[in-house]
Amino acid sequence: MKVNKILLTGSAGFIGYHLVQKLLESGDFEIVGLDVINDYYDVKLKHDRLRQHGVDAVGLNERDVVLSEKFPNYRFVKADLADYEFVVDFMLAERFDYVVNLAAQAGVRYSITNPRAYVHANVEGFLSILEGCRHSKVKHLIYASTSSVYGLNTTMPLSESMPTEHPISLYSATKKANELMAHTYSHLYSIPTTGLRFFTVYGPWGRPDMALFLFADAIITDKPLNIFNHGRMVRDFTYVQDIVESIFRLIKKPVELPVQWDAAIPELGKSSAPYQVFNIGNSNPVELIEYVEALEKAIGRTAKRNYMDIQPGDVPATHADSRALENYVGYRPRTSVEKGVELFVEWYLDYKGIYGK
């Protein structure tokens, strides 16, 4: 049986870590993980994720490649996606069957104070991936977009057929740019591309700048939680394993031509090119205050609450219409907030115990 070769960027990141695990468990892939391991948040967490897969990346220089000590079908390369010549040459030499691009500069609020980081990672870096896919004839490129592309839309649920021309943060603007760039390459070079609009992903091994991690830290240390929009923020919280299962099912299922698409009445999210975008969300939004209550229950402590106004770049509500994804791969996210938060807390308490030794 032929083993498929896959490049997974952002493999030291939150979703990337879980997807590597899923690919390793499947046994169907030769995997190359790529990450720059920047210091946007604590690099120790990134290195700890990599160690779970047998990779010691401490002290690596950029462009270094290391073999996993646990898994013979896994290699890791430390590299910046914006290192254009290296990335394109590497992809051409490796001849990947599939590419999943999860590497990006994340965070809505950080994009307000550090805009250049987003253009560097999310635009320049994505161009390297597209060019690498073009020259190496990749069978399918999957890339991370975000629910933030819906911007000022207030009609819920949010579906792929809605316009996305009104972003309210540079982060979401760069992700919208990724979708436009992917469409261009799908049209010009027939590269099958699938963009995934993630809705508020959470779970074990999550980023420490995200709400759940920040809230757990505050409760454990008996500090006030900063609760924006006075707890009325509504989010379609989506458990990370549901995200990973969706990606896994999509990898070997690129869009096939011809598609039903009328240029005179263009349907958003689709194209005459081998291009598509999907929402990946739980389709069961809850208020932020309910999220906090689920965390309090799982930890067994009551939080001190500091209610604040909504922050620049934040949207008041998200709610995913994920029917297109379910129809395409026969799966939809289904983990409840209560269960997902409980699983996060189990990991968090264990990890903090290890972390403190």
- Distance (Å, whole) CA 341 – CA 294: 7
Residue 338 CB contacts under 8 Å (≥ 6 apart), including other chains: 294, 297
| Signed CA dihedral, 123, 280, 226, 344: sign only | negative
Contact partners, residue 325, CB within 8 Å, separation at least 6: 246, 278, 279, 280, 331, 332
Residues acting as catalytic residues? 171
CB 211 within 8 A of CB 291: yes
Q: Which helix (H) or strand (E) holds 46?
A: helix 43-52
Distance CA 62, CA 220 (A): 37
Residue in 101, 113, 108 with CA at minimum distance from that of residue 13: 101
Tokens for 49, please give them.
Answer: 């994720």
Rounded Cα gap, residues 92 and 132, in angstroms: 6
Q: How far apart are CA 178 and CA 130, in angstroms?
A: 10
Residue 162's contacts (CB-CB under 8 Å, 6 or more residues apart) are 150, 153, 155, 268
**Tokens at 304, concatenated:** 């001190």
**How would DSSP label each residue in 130-173?**
HHHHHHHT-SEEEEEEEGGGGTT--SSSB-TTS-----SSHHHH
CB 129 within 8 A of CB 82: no
In total, the chain counts a number of residues equal to 357
Q: How many C-beta neighbours within 10 Å does residue 27 have?
A: 9
Q: Are 257 and 175 in contact (CB under 8 A)?
A: no
